[in-house]
Structure 1
Amino acid sequence: MEKLAKRSDARIGLTPNAKRKAVSNFLLGMLYLGPMLFLMIVFIFYPILKTLYYSFYSTNPRGVPVLFVGLDNYINLVTSDSFLTSMKATFLYVLYTVPIGVALALFLAVIASEKLRGIEFFRVIFSSTVGISVAAGSTIWLFIFHPSIGLLNRVLGYAGISPIAWLTDSDWALISVSITSIWMGIGFNFIILLGGLQSIPEDIYESATIDGAGYWTKLFRITLPMVSPSLFFVIIVTVIHSFQSFGQIDILTQGGPAESTNLIVYSIFQNAFIHYKFGVASAQAIILFIVVLIVTVIQFKVGEKKVHYQ
């Protein structure tokens, strides 16, 4: 047997010194990766498995599983009008915030990439929202949307337009929250896209200018294709972040009026920490995870084909 083992090691080129070196390298790698793996297990993998476990149980107000219900939590959710309303509001919110937010950030990044005097000041202004917390930003917009003393209704009053109940009208509440989210997300998207624009080699533009290409030709034939990796990253991150929005909902509308802004994450919060239905909330979280995973995979399958990597 020992001869056979030595022959097999010799066939695959593993000498005793090579085996010891491979084991040493593996242990050294685990030494570096160990702390991060421990944190991922404690704060990512364990909570996911615990959530999946809770989703098959009915729990008491303390969150202790008391009855195995199987798929009942999932079945009750997909047949619930409240859950379907929440999912509809969530997809509408993503539809409102992602295209407009990304397009506006790209527009500002293109402007800020121009070599103009004093453009650094505008770069600071455009990226300033990245340093504002969700709570602070939502509070600012809470006063802007105020029905009587808010800035928006005052401007409308000067124009002779009747005041709008931005946060208490079900037709306007989700739009108002979306405006807040777009404003808060512009800073991050702007910084990423501006970095992508500034990484484009200048000689490409010089060659295009020599060939007689105008501004719009260079924008659509050079700038957008070359910035597509950064744009693809921003779209992926913005979509995921939109599905996870919570703070602005809690501060501005608390899910109302008439559940028009009751996004899926806020619905999870209500079921878990207000109604103490931890099993139902866990099932909602698993459904949200699956939805985000599917949307992300679709984005990679469809969008990555159009990305131009340098």
Structure 2
Amino acid sequence: MSIDSQSPDELLQSIHHHRQELETLRAETAMLTVHNQILKNFVSLASTSAGWLIVKATLQKTLEAAIKQTQAAQGSLFLLDSQGHVTESILARGATTRVQREEILGQVLDKGLAGWVKENRQTGLVTDTLKDFRWLKLPDEPYEVRSALGIPIFWGGVLLGVMTLMHPLPGQFNEGIAHGMEKTAELIALVLNTAKVYTERKQVEDELRTRDELFGQLILNFPGILWVLDNQGNFLVCGGLAFPNLGVSLEESLGRSVFDLYAIAPNLLTAINEALTGQGVEAVNFKLHGLNYQGWCSPICDGQGRVLRILCILHPLPSLPKTVV
């Protein structure tokens, strides 16, 4: 139907319809812009921040993006663990002491909008805080709040966090804004969960690196000789202050079979074979390159009793009258 053939009422209805479509497109464009900013912020933070600072900074940047999307005046964001306890938070009032922070968190999660969202696992839209029981006005609040929006952040059905957006005028938030923020919350959940996993993985990697360094120092400075073999008898770790006496370097040993390198010490290999079957072994005496040693070989098993590793501790002896080679 052409414009010329439309009646005035039909023309007004068409204009109204196109205006609604335009508003919808504008809202979706704005939301996509915010989504893009959230992702860019996270990528930037992941490459420049370390440890738990990544999570903290991600919370801050994510909250700033949400405030921009909804034209809120301020907001707060709580990150929760699987038990519903707050593990990290950004408060609307900014910096606080630890005591103040814990007191505020306790109040808003007990009687405030954030607590209602957490308990009911759904978005809470407050058009006028003076007329809604869910809003809790805190003592000495440094800002005026007349409308608020609480959004749950889910990841895999688990409540990952709660965001609260605020404005000093009533009626600032509506169903459309709430729906848009629910969509944004899906991306926020992805980003926050990725930040948590990334941080936890980095912490584990750092702990393993520290442990490996300490273990390496222990092996290098061990007063005798220490070997760790796999369940086929191949060297995984070896070292100790007396290791050079064996006539084989660390590089030549790693990955090689103990049965190939030390075939001249049958007593020792018998002890290792018994350990590979899961048996504990008493001290065994043997001789290598003219030197006498005493050694212990112990299996390291998993929960089902399967041998995973063999730990061998060898000590040089000043003399060994009766040695079977």
What TM-score, normalized to structure 2? 0.23
Bigger relative contact order, structure 1 or 2, given CA contacts below 8 A and separation 6+? 1
Higher strand share: 2
Structure with greater helix percent:
1
Q: Which has the larger radius of gyration?
A: 2
Q: TM-score, normalised by structure 1?
A: 0.24
